[in-house]
Amino acid sequence: MLSSSPSTSSAPPQTVTTDLHHVTMETYWREVRSIEEEKEEEEEEEEERKSMDEVELEEAWLKEAGLSSLVTTLSSEEAPPPAEVLLSTLTHQQAATVRRRLDNYNETLKTRNKQPIRDVRDVFTEPDDDSERCPSPPSHRAESPPSRYHTTTKTIRRNAHRVRPTLPTFVFEDQLPENPSSPTHPPTHTHSPTRTNSPTQTHSPTYTHSLTHTHSPTHTHFPTHTHSHSVSWSRQADWLLRESPYSEGVAEHKRGGTCWDCLHFHGSDSGDLPFVPVPPTQGLVSADDLSSCDLTRLGFISHIELSTFLLALGVQTKRHRPPRRRTRDSGVFAVPLNSLLENDRKKFPGVKVPVVFQKLLCTLEQTGLQTEGILRVPGSAARLKCLRRELDRCCGEFDWSAVRQVEAAGLLKLFIRELPTPLLTHTHLSTYRSVLGVSSVVHQVQALQLLSLLLPEANRETLRALLVFLRKVVSHQDQNRMSLWNVSMVMAPNLFTYTHRGNKRSIAKQREEMEEAVGGAHLVRLMITHQDLLWTVPSFLLTQVRQMNQASNQKQFGLTKATRRLLRRKNDRNQITELCAGVIRVHAPLHTKVSMAIQLDGQMRAKDVITRFECDNSSSVQHLYEVGGNICERRLHPDVVLLDVYRVNPHCDWLIKP
């Protein structure tokens, strides 16, 4: 009895120890499984969030390209032109970019177990009849083969249950038998039906052009400033006159080669030497000369072309969600540009740049252009805070005579920095930075030009006013010690937002921030130097806008195939008759002579027609407008040759007005 008691008494401790060990291991593995499940859920949420971001970004890209109908259902009031109208005007490479984007959008939707709204094969279909394709605007240009344009995007199948046709083959520029970007065959420019003189034959090798900016409530954009640089004729921006898009001109880059532009400007590829603008007689148009309708359609095509162009150059762009910033409804600072303009137009109708911004520029131009260190030397922080509070309280009654140069410079930079939406916009800010990945200056300028055409009107006009002022500052660098690079380094942080802030930063982050600052300064330097080209619409973009307008008109009237063929034959006969006569009728409802028939010749310009009309109100500048036909409305430059415009758009109306 006594010998068995120890064994009996020792059993319970062993059992307890085993049970505790079992409980501990079970708890451990339960915690491990719980942590793994949480990680899996977090990974799934992260993938879903990334998928959501990618879907939203792709959807935003398609909407900005004017293809909202492919991803959403819009009301008739806010809907852009039908997608088939836009797609019918694209080149092969531009259409391939849209197709790639739509593919990515649909594939991302599938990963989220959602049915795509429209499959890409329902969008890019073979046309049923070649006669269904949208014709281009009447033109006698010898170049620009029609096969370059994408003609397999005419019809969008709206029936989801219809059998999907075979995918069309997209032919890229580097697959075409004839290479337009070959350095051994420089581009030939036949830019207008009646133009027989080439740019290198008739124009001065030191042609200069300038932009002006009047910083007043009655803001206008007409040339008064002339470059101080003497530029060789080889630096002329003749690529603006080509009928082939930029994305096709860089086809050699796809094969690791060099395009004609890179070879042509090799050795003079300096960002500080401006390209010579093309003379206005060549028929180019500025962005502010087009109507809002044409600008909207120009934005659609520019958006697609920019993506295609950067992709051809091997430059990747990545968008990010815009950060939330404080917005105010009243005052001056941290107020959206459109809100400021809406208030200013109550007193100054038609103003395009906020009055307070113009006042700051005028103050600096009048007293600060020769001040040493202007824009660089900071003013008193307490004084700037007081002036800001006073401007926000009563901008209309503000005493500008009490503002010193350094204070006006500080207020100018503060105004730009605190805009709720950056001057270059959240949408395009990352694309601006990606331009730094382009190796050639000529292609950087082309990309910046497309980006400038994409900016909203308020942002574009305000940026234009700023760049004109900065060029004036640089022109006085002998007095103010502010070179082009100094001005660019000072203004870059106000235009580009840098992500790394704070005192405690690693060396790697400091180096990254410095690289971003230098890159931003390089972009500002390019925009200051080549600002005369940023607002000019290249010939190929205006041609595509005309094609889109013509296709939209046919779609709107809903003409049948037979009717279109009949009208096409009739219009061709009428066009030949009218072209031989070369007579236009100009309407001037605000003048003594309200209408006049004018015989056109190869020398007749817009200013010659305006001088034939007596103006009742001599205080307002009169302009000749091209209205209707394949354009909504275009203000013609005084030196443009009218016969060129007539042959491109023979069915337009001619109107004289302010």
pLDDT in tens, 371-425: 999 999 888 999 999 999 999 888 778 889 889 999 999 999 999 999 999 999 9
Q: Where are the beta strands (DSSP E) in 562-645?
A: 583-587, 595-599, 623-628, 631-635
Packed helices 355-367 and 457-475: angle between N→C axes, nearest 10 degrees:
0
| Region of poorest pLDDT, from 155-159, 289-293, 466-470, 582-586 | 155-159
Residue 301, SS3 per DSSP: helix
pLDDT at residue 539 is higher than 90: yes
Query: Mean pLDDT throughout 364-369?
Result: 90
**Span 476-504, pLDDT tens digits:** 999 999 999 999 999 999 998 654 445 55
Evaluate if residue 566 carries a pLDDT over 50: yes
Q: What's the confidence (pLDDT) of residue 361?
A: 96
Please indicate whether residue 370 or residue 139 has the higher confidence score (pLDDT): 370
Q: Which of 174-183, 206-215, 526-535, 590-599 holds the top average pLDDT?
A: 526-535
pLDDT at residue 618, as a whole number: 57
The pLDDT, as a whole number, for residue 151 is: 44
Which residues sit opposite 586 in a β-bridge? 596, 654
Q: Report pLDDT for 604.
A: 92
Q: What is the pLDDT averaged over residues 254-274?
A: 71
Q: Which stretches does DSSP call E strand in 573-628? A: 583-587, 595-599, 623-628
**First-residue to last-residue Cα distance in the chain:** 124
Region 361-379: mean pLDDT is 91
Instruction: Give the residue-averaged pLDDT of 419-435.
Output: 93
Chain segment 20-49, per-residue pLDDT in tens = 555 566 666 666 676 667 666 666 655 555
Please check the confidence at residue 158 and state whether its pLDDT lies above 50. Answer: no
Q: Residue 444 pLDDT > 80, yes or no?
A: yes
Residue 145 or residue 650, greater confidence: 650
Please determine, for residue 439, whether its predicted confidence score (pLDDT) is greater than 90.
no
For the ranges 46-55, 389-398, 441-450, the maximum mean pLDDT occurs at 441-450
Residue 153 has pLDDT above 50, yes or no: no
SS (H, E, C) 445-490: HHHHHHHHHHCCHHHHHHHHHHHHHHHHHHHCHHHHCCCHHHHHHH
Least confident of 133-137, 156-160, 352-356: 156-160
pLDDT of residue 34: 67
Looking at residues 160-170, what average pLDDT do you find? 35
| Band of residue 520 on the pLDDT scale cut at 50, 70, 90 | very high
192 has a pLDDT exceeding 70: no
Backbone angles phi and psi of 56, in degrees to 5: -65, -40
Element (H, E) at 657: strand 653-657
User: Rounded to 5 degrees, what angle do the CA atoms 214, 215, 218 make?
Assistant: 70
Q: Is the pLDDT of residue 249 over 50?
A: yes
Note the pLDDT of residue 565: 60
pLDDT surpassing 50 at residue 223: no
